[in-house]
Amino acid sequence: MVYLMTSLPSLSFDQVPPITIDEFNDEAKSQLSARHFRLLESVDIQQLNTEVGKKSIASFLQTIKEDLAEVRKAKVQNRQAQPVRLPKSALVGNPLEREIKILQWQWQELLDMEAGKTFTLTEVLVYKLKLQIVSRLHSFNQKEGAKVLASMVNPAKNKEDN
Amino acid sequence: MAGIKIKYTKTERARQKKILKVSERMLPLFEAMEKSLMATINTIAERIEQIREEIEKNRLAAEPWTAVMSDSWINIGEFISVNKIITKTVDVAGVRVQQYVNVDFNVMPIHEDTPLWVDDAIELMQEQLQLLAEIDCLKEQINLLEEELLDVRARVKLFENRRIPNAKLAIRKIGQKLQDDERLTIATAKVVKTSKQKEGKL
């Protein structure tokens, strides 16, 4: 655990991911026991898999799931959302701003979770979740996003332009 | 008129007069139809322009957040697609066309792990795709109306340049011929009468 964590580059929100998820997985596979690596594989903030052997992480992912569900339910019912842990300020702004605020909140929660857990399995699991967050944040791109929208709403025109 | 043989008879003159009467009655109708089609085409073109402005307005409104659509976790194309554009047949300026009603979408169910922006993107795409579908229907309407307009214009030209002038010319020529014939008959009769009178004196 110690060797793995010291070999990994540090992560910070807003930075270009210093390694890819695949590189991280390869590194972790070579350093962790099979049991720990299986646990690491099951941790995923994208899939929000709550069947994780770490209670704190499972609870965190479950909260994200429930809060997203509450936000959607409130929208359908035309009322203000009452998420359990997600700050209401994260629900203000345009979809991009909201998504970034949600990621910031998740990042902060993960920082709290790993505090005092240096060189433990929790730190490794949190590292993966943080890496997923920065990788996702880095994928937000104005030009590419506009291309995606154009390809969806006007594929014929898009083809002509190309 | 060139190459057309005219029968110089009273029956033919009556027939040509009838053609002239019908043509002069039909011409204003076709001219009115032409104006109506042109006005309708212009109205539809204006509507297309309005819709295009609406699409652009929506695009500009979404521009500040389109970056999120390149989210590496999501392929938005998997969430929404057009199943069918629903139209109804209506009569526009005397032409049967398809009028836009709505778009039937295939929208995939949103799961708990789906990021919230996907909901907004689906709403935006539905709005834009509906507007684009309406433009397609309107363009098709313009195509059909323009075909009809060409047909009506051809008829107007036919009446203005062929039927009416031809009928008028035929009526005039037949009239002159009949008048000449009548004069000739009278003159011949007079000559016969004069020669008979001379014979009697002798």
pTM of the model: 0.83
Q: How far is B167 from chain A (nearest CA, A)?
A: 53
Please tell me the distance from the alpha carbon of residue B87 to that of residue B137, in angstroms, as a whole number: 8
- pLDDT confidence tier of residue B3, bands split at 50, 70 and 90: low
Task: Measure CA of the first residue to CA of the last residue in chain B; give whole Å.
Answer: 53
Q: Residue B69's domain is classified under what CATH number?
A: 1.10.287.3240
Rounded-to-integer distance, Cα A17 and Cα A13, Å: 9
Mean pLDDT over A82-102 rounds to 94
* Mean confidence (pLDDT) of chain B: 93
How far apart CA A51 and CA B27 sit, in angstroms, is 81
Q: How far apart are CA A150 and CA B56, in angstroms?
A: 12
**Domain ranges, residue B162:** 10-187
Mean pLDDT for the stretch of residues B110-126: 93
Alpha-carbon dihedral angle through residues B154, B157, B158, B163, given to the nearest 10 degrees: 160
d(CA A152, CA B121): 10
- Mean pLDDT value across residues A41-68: 86
The total number of structural domains in chain A stands at 1
Chain A closest CA to B127's CA: distance in Å? 9
Mark yes or no for CB contact B116/A94 under 8 Å.
no
Q: How far apart (Å, rounded) are the C-alpha atoms in residues B202 and B196?
A: 10
Q: Is B117 on the interface with A (CB under 8 A)?
A: yes
Q: Which residues in chain B have their CB less than 8 angstroms from residue A144's CB?
A: 67, 69-70
How far, rounded to the nearest angstrom, does the alpha carbon of residue B148 sit from its chain's CA centroid? Answer: 3
Residues 29-68 of B with CB under 8 A from A: 59, 62-68
Position B102 in a domain: yes
DSSP letter string, B81-124: EEEEEEEEEEEETTEEEEEEEEEEEEEPPPPTTS-THHHHHHHH
Contact criterion met (CB < 8 Å) for B121 and A141? no
- Tens digits of residue pLDDT in B22-43: 999 999 999 999 999 999 999 9
Tell me which chain B residue has its CA closest to the CA of residue A69.
B112
HSE value, Cβ hemisphere, 13 Å, CA-based, for B55: 20
Mean predicted confidence (pLDDT) in B151-159: 96
Q: Is residue B3 a part of any domain in this protein?
A: no
Distance CA A8, CA A111 (A): 16
* Contacting residues of A for B60, CB less than 8 Å apart: none
Beta bridge partners, B124, equal: none
Q: How many domains does chain B have?
A: 1
Q: Does B133 have pLDDT greater than 50?
A: yes
Task: Give the pLDDT of residue A162.
Answer: 46
pLDDT band at B199 (very low <50, low <70, confident <90, very high): confident
Domain presence at residue B113:
yes
| Cα separation, B55 vs B62, whole angstroms | 11
- Which residue, among B73, B105, B135, B49, has the nearest Cα to A152 in the 3D structure? B105
Cβ neighbours of residue A137 closer than 8 Å, sequence gap 6 or more: A13, A14, A100, A103
Chain B partners within 8 Å of A145 (Cβ): 66-70
Top-confidence residue, A154 or A82: A82
Q: What pLDDT was estimated at residue B202?
A: 66
Interface predicted TM-score (ipTM)? 0.89
By residue range, what is the domain housing residue A29? 2-161
| Residue A5 DSSP symbol | H
Q: Compute how many other C-beta atoms are within 10 angstroms of the C-beta atom of residue A45.
A: 22
Is B52 part of any domain?
Answer: yes
Cβ(B77)–Cβ(B106) under 8 Å?
no
Q: A44 in contact with B at a CB cutoff of 8 Å?
A: no
Report whether pLDDT(A111) > 70: yes
Taking a C-beta distance cutoff of 8 angstroms, is the pair A8, A24 a contact? yes
Query: pLDDT at residue B98 above 60?
Result: yes
**Chain A neighbors of B113, CB-CB under 8 A:** 46-48, 65, 68
Q: Does A133 touch chain B (CB under 8 A)?
A: no
B116 with A95: Cβ contact below 8 A: yes
Question: Strand, coil or helix: what is B80?
Answer: strand
CA distance readout (Å), B167 to A55, B8, B62, B153: 99, 13, 65, 20
- Give the model's confidence band at A156: pLDDT under 50 very low, under 70 low, under 90 confident, else very high: low
